[in-house]
Structure 1
Amino acid sequence: MRFFIVDDDEGVRSMLADIIEDFGLGEVVGELEDGSNLSHDLLELKKVDILMIDLLMPIRDGIQTVRAIGQDFSGKIIMLSQIESKDMIGEAYSLGVQYYITKPINRLEILEIIRKVMDHLRLQKSMSDIQRTIQGLQIVSSPKIQRTADAENKIVTSGHFMLSELGMIGEAGSKDVLEMLEVLYQLDSETGETSFTFPSLKDIFTSIAAKKLGHRASPAELNKEIKASEQRVRRAIFQTLTHVASLGLTDYSHPKFENYASKFFDFTEIRKRMLELQNEVEPSQSQVRINTKKFIQVLYVETKRSMS
């Protein structure tokens, strides 16, 4: 990350720079003792990710400077001040300043705030990358758009069939799983089967959260939805594990058990769940080893196969 520090106290600037460099948080690419010489063009030239700026300065204060920079600055702003006026802090927030550190500054608080800001920036970058990939699907001719839409409908229809086979339909997480299949199919169509690489689960969950909440959602809202979606999917997969294990317990040669048990799960987990069902033991979900990525990968392959 690239930092720019604006504070009229040289000691504060030095302390902030030392913390950033000592903890490997990034690089300080510029410093100023007042906001009067800071501009949007300078921040763009320095490719600044995080601006740390004092609220009270002699010539142009932090609020005036942030207002002068405008909303075109794509990075994050951390405001520093020993003044705790609610009106001034409220005005700073209204200008897009989401992070605030009170003086005298505390090393642990600075580390916590900076790391939180860095996490939000990484999340936004991941979202932007996914959105650019998806938008690229739209820059095609109308017939191709129609074919893509038809294919996406088919992947959802086939997905419904597969989830019914697995006993997952009706679970809260089944909708999330179908949305994951749509995201994978879009990426697969864009890159082509020969060069398609299965993305990380984090990218998939980020994509469906961004689609659900819209571009105005804050990083905190997105993080909350991502975690909720992950939990719903994990619970749904756990129910599928139980369903498949119960089939095997009733009839070890059941075609669904033979076809799906070893494909979607580690057989040791299937066997353990069968014994628990047999002994009427209801385990905690956290005690079960669920490989979510393996499950989604296999589900996507099986769903595509059922389309044809």
Structure 2
Amino acid sequence: MKLRLGMLILISLSLTAALKISCEREKLTIVATIAPLGSIAREICGEKANVVVLVPSGSDPHQYAPKPMEAELVRTCDLFISIGKEPFLGQFPENKLGLSLGWSDWINAGVYIRRGNPHYLWMYPENAKIIARVIANNLILLNPENSEYYSSNLATFEEKIDSLESWISLIKTQYSIEGEKVLLGGAHFEPITEILGLNVLGIIIKGEEKLPSPSEIVEIEKLASEERAKVIIALATQKGGNEGRLADQISRETGIPVIYVHGVAIDEGDTYVEFMKYTILQIVSGIQAGRTAGGSSKSISTRPYWIAILILAVLLIFQTFLLARCFKWSS
């Protein structure tokens, strides 16, 4: 009797394991080049697909090189999602077995692109909605039996974006940031400065490694000082590169604080809305620090100076917190 009972238990466990493996195999595989696309895809596919992001969170896509295993994953996945302008796309096989989404799909769907700048197009909340719709439509093509599920997730995501846009409007009003003057290290953050209504006085590096001449740097410094720019916004992954070096140089000459902002979530588990909120709050904190320091004025009183130092210290703690989360998840 005991032997029979034991055998029944073993058979039951084996069937459970087999069913679990079968369910896992039935899931779609989605591969996204970068974390923002992966985050939006997860919100739409939910538990019906496994989402893999190629470029590690907090890394620079320009420095990424796919491994052979990743190239094979791109070839065999059910849905491959890219912006369509990533420099490493040419290293992937063209004969993909599944569906692919890229630049032409976003353009045809009606995403907003300012002056042809593909950098961080997902930072426009309305673009995030469009990207989500395109992903949902393709998931329905791949997996029509779950069409209602994907459509429901899409509706939920769109509601979250509507709430995000209301929150952004509140932040702009509460902190009176609309029209504040800033400098950009590169063109990366044009979308987010536009949705915040900031006045971009200039971009230090216009395009890939198009470094400004010494005379152009002097002109940027002069303009920023005269117009009393509040902050220089630079890409965190470029802190040790030319963008960071030039941003620091201009900051030393003008007294304008620099903030280093991540272009994608440094924790892959962060949702699109979470990433947008902490990125916007970081920029707002930088503007507040610039206001306290008196913009670009070098002759500031002692009290505002120390207040500015305190605000910048809070920014540093915030960035350290984000990096700690990144290391925790990567370990």
Normalised TM-score (structure 2):
0.23
Larger Rg: 1
TM-score, length basis structure 1? 0.24
